[in-house]
Structure 1
Amino acid sequence: MNAARIIVLIAAGLAAAAAAYFVYRSSSGAPATVEPQIVQAATVDVLAARRDLPVGARVQASDLYWQAWPEDAVSPSQILRERSPDAAEQYAGAVVRRAISEGEPISPRFLLQAGEAGFMSAVLSPGMRAHAVPITAETGAGGFILPGDRVDVIVAYEAEEDGNSRRRYFVSETVVENARVLAIDQVFGGDEESDSVVVGETATLEVTPEQARALALATERGQISLSLRSLADAEGGPRLVSTQPDPRVAQPAPDPVTPYRNDDGQVVVYRYGQARVTTVDEN
């Protein structure tokens, strides 16, 4: 009986030892790997810039694209694809009011579209001025001058020859060469629909301040005509050709000349550097 009890005790001890060994082995092994759970955040498509857009740049449809953006980070000012699916085409031709970085979401307040206040000032190159001149179909190349073209500005006026005959004749002079046409009436450049003929009453040109003064004087002096330049001859900026001096401003006088009386009883004098003939009252 004692032997049987001893055998049972030995078997129980061995079982306990085996259980302890297996518990030790399982506790000393590498911990089980837990796969992290990735939660996909909801996104929406917002209109963004494909490249850096500086102030004054004209936006093209290819400059814009739809970018996935976290839905909970969308600003009310951003343009969503679900609301405006044609926004890229709608903003083509707009002018950048505030510099936009590549990949930055677009806001309507960053852009100026044709017809909005400040659009023309954003289109102008630094240091340039927008000056309007009157035109007709005849003086505007039959309506074939479009925004973005380059033109020469010509003024035609009637002049009077000095001397006894007082003969009158017509003169035409080129005032400014290679001026860029910004608009015809309210039609601006950069629009896809501007390829048709545009006949208007005014043409807005991009010129320097000095050229703007010359054009203002030329407009008062005679009729303005625009001569369309070839695309191959449109390099460079506008050039001032004639300043059209104001006849009311005193001009440098020539060397002093003693007035003399001619055979017709008239006295020849100098005024504004040119000979003038005037009749002298004998009384």
Structure 2
Amino acid sequence: MRLVFGLVLMLGLGLAGFAVYMAKSYIQGYQAQLAIERQQRAPNIETVDIYVATRPVKYGEPLDKTAVRLAAFPKATLPAGVFTKPEGLFPMGENTPRTVLRRMEINEPVLAVKVTAPGEDAGITSQLERGMRAFAIKVDVTSGVSGFLRPGDSVDIYWTGNVGAGNVRTAENSTGAVTKLIETGVKLIAVDQVTDTDMTEATIARTVTVSVRPQQVAALAQAQSSGRLSLSLVGSQDDTVAEAIEVDQKRLLGITIEAAKERVVAETCSIRTRRGAEVIVTPIPCTN
């Protein structure tokens, strides 16, 4: 009996060991096949290490080495103006930081358009492109679009003044009080003394600063000294070009030149003087 019991025990242990071996082999094979399938399904994305913000940074804040770190970014969707090396971000050394021009959040790529050159502050000169000049325009609650202007917006500029003196006429033969579009799509770089493009609160500004060419500076200076300038806000996605616009009182009221002449003739006043049988008509200025 003992011999039979021992044989049965050995046979049971052998079968159990074989079952464990088979189960282990099956599981290992399944895991290997699963790993191969996952590897085949995973896209092969090429990445590049670029500098990103390690914390939220605001306009005017210095960007030093503690505010950035390297992080992998997909090469296919790499934005323009990124920094990949420390000598690119801090060419004058880590002790000469850049200044933030646009707010950045955590893990947001640091772009060249969002920071100044090393050692520069976030002043008005950093907003000017090559060949452009800054010019200030006086505004109020009506001419300044009721405080909805922000740095970075684009505006059309209208001039209102009188061109009737000395029988002077414009290109559209308008006389008297005239409103004319003189500049289109002009970029605002500051509202009062604020150049932060991330400002959200409405401000009734007294002046706005625009970025224009030197020839436009002369035109705007002459227009501001000889009349009144008004701004019209252009939509952020609007890429249309405004046509030449000029409106005087006659066009505003729909009065043609011929009707205006007839009205002048009709309003001519005179005095009739009788000398015997003769009547003398003397023209005089019309008064109320």
More helix by share: 2
TM-score scaled to structure 1, two decimals? Answer: 0.45
Indicate the structure (1 or 2) with the bigger Cα radius of gyration.
Answer: 1
